[in-house]
Structure 1
């Protein structure tokens, strides 16, 4: 019982430190369109989960043992491989779903990705140029959510529940940006509540994948690496498939909100379910 009380205290301290600065910066520097008017605020925003971990560990005298800061157990290479392959494959699978189910006319071969090499090179350069910021974001968030919050929640509940709760907390942490259209825009019914629900679903299944990587390697770096690559490539690569050779967007059977969900979520959900099952089976064994 005493251990659970200590875990609850540490979780509470961590969440206050992770949430409060983000909500203040998120509203103060919001451009009211889903972005931020300050680049510095944008970088700091994604670092606060890691900053909150450091402060929490010091204040609660927990120290940094079991902080998942090593590079992994033996035979962790395949998990690093999965961490890289998954976010690279995701936008291409999403593009196939997009053109099979949502685009009214035209085909994937007419998209800017295949038809315009200049556009392809430009988008990929933009993705790589944002790599440093994305690296900070990925490590900053994963040190907080996967390397600290989820293990703490596992002291209070089963792993599957801890993954779900972390996903919900992670999603709601984006609240100030979601209010103004972050990720899902503003042109959909039930704005912004639909965006919150979509973000919760996405974060739960991504939380399962990142937690699986962290547990299998006993390291935060595979999850951070995968998070970084996903942030770098998903939007930039997937957007290439949303326009034809003339640079005009394809006509969709639905609005862009549902286009994103129908195209991008299936692979996330399937992968998340598989990782959840694998973690539960491992725990039972």
Structure 2
């Protein structure tokens, strides 16, 4: 019981330090549309989970033990590759689903993205380069969520539950921005509650995928790289598929909110679900080996 109480106190301290500065900045500098009026404030938001970890570890005298700061186990290269390839594939799979199920008139071949291949390639390369250049922001979040919160929650509950709880906490960390339309806009029924629900679902499944990357490599860097590339690659490369070559937006069968869920969420859910299964199988295999030894 004392150890569980100590873990709970550490989690509570971490969450206060991660949440409070972000909520203060988001409410103080909100443009009421889902973004911030201060560039400086916006550029520091993703760093607060890491700052919270550092302060928590100092206050609790944990040090850097089990901080996942190494570059990974042997043969971690394939997971780094996956951390890059998944975000690159995401907008194109999403674009295909968008045109199969959401776009009412027009074809994917008529999209602005495919009408000018040179610009599309340039946009992809620029977004990838931006992701690598700003990977420190992804590190800021991943050191906190996957490198500290999830392992601490695993001391209190089964790993799948820890992944889910982390996803919920991670989603609600975006609360002030979601309340004003961040990520999902404002033009949908039950705004902003639908956005909160969608963000929670998205973060739970991405939490599973990013946790799997972290566990397989024993490092937060693949997850940090993947996280930042998702942020820089997805929207910028999916957007041109929503317009035709003349610059007119395709007519959709539904609003943008549901269009985003139908097109983007399937690959998020598949990646997260597969990751959960792989983590569960790995854990079960390890337990069976211990039982036989």
TM class by shorter chain equals: over 0.9
Question: CA–CA distance in 2 between the matches of 1:271 and 1:117?
Answer: 28
Which residue matches 1:3?
Answer: 3
Question: CA–CA distance in 2 between the matches of 1:167 and 1:134?
Answer: 23
Which residue matches 1:139?
Answer: 139
> What SS does structure 1 have at the residue aligned with 2:166?
helix
Which residue matches 1:151?
Answer: 151
Question: CA–CA distance in 1 between the matches of 2:41 and 2:50?
Answer: 15
For 1:114-133, list aligned pairs within 5 A.
114-117=114-117, 119-120=119-120, 123-124=123-124, 127-128=127-128, 130-131=130-131
Is 1:68 aligned with 2:82? no
Deviation at 1:133, TM superposition (A): 6.6
In structure 2, the CA distance between the partners of 1:134 and 1:193, relative to structure 1 (3 Å rule), is farther
For 1:36-75, list aligned pairs within 5 A.
36-75=36-75
CA contact (8 A) 1:43 1:133 kept: no
> What SS does structure 1 have at the residue aligned with 2:81?
helix
1:132-165 CA distance string (max 9 Å, x none): 6741221110000000000000000000000000
Is 1:247 aligned with 2:247? yes
Q: Find runs of 4+ consecutive structure 1 residues off by over 4 angstroms.
A: none
Across the aligned residues of Structure 1 and Structure 2, the Cα RMSD in angstroms comes to 1.4
Which residue matches 1:265?
Answer: 265
CA contact (8 A) 1:146 1:210 kept: yes
In structure 2, the CA distance between the partners of 1:248 and 1:118, relative to structure 1 (3 Å rule), is farther
CA contact (8 A) 1:123 1:237 kept: yes
Deviation at 1:130, TM superposition (A): 3.9
Which residue matches 1:237?
Answer: 237
> What SS does structure 2 have at the residue aligned with 1:241?
helix
Which residue matches 2:83?
Answer: 83
Deviation at 1:77, TM superposition (A): 1.0
Instruction: Give structure 2 stretches of 5+ with no counterpart.
Output: 286-293
> What SS does structure 2 have at the residue aligned with 1:138?
helix
Question: CA–CA distance in 1 between the matches of 2:126 and 2:25?
Answer: 25
Deviation at 1:122, TM superposition (A): 6.1
Deviation at 1:228, TM superposition (A): 1.2
CA contact (8 A) 1:134 1:232 kept: no
CA contact (8 A) 1:172 1:196 kept: yes
In structure 2, the CA distance between the partners of 1:121 and 1:82, relative to structure 1 (3 Å rule), is closer
Deviation at 1:117, TM superposition (A): 4.1
Instruction: Give structure 1 stretches of 5+ with no counterpart.
Output: none
In structure 2, the CA distance between the partners of 1:88 and 1:129, relative to structure 1 (3 Å rule), is closer
CA contact (8 A) 1:112 1:119 kept: no
> What SS does structure 2 have at the residue aligned with 1:198?
helix
Deviation at 1:118, TM superposition (A): 6.1
> What SS does structure 2 have at the residue aligned with 1:258?
helix
TM-score by length of 1: 0.97
Which residue matches 1:198?
Answer: 198
Which residue matches 2:220?
Answer: 220
TM-score by length of 2: 0.94
Which residue matches 2:291?
Answer: none
1:28-55 CA distance string (max 9 Å, x none): 0111111011111011111000000000
In structure 2, the CA distance between the partners of 1:118 and 1:80, relative to structure 1 (3 Å rule), is closer
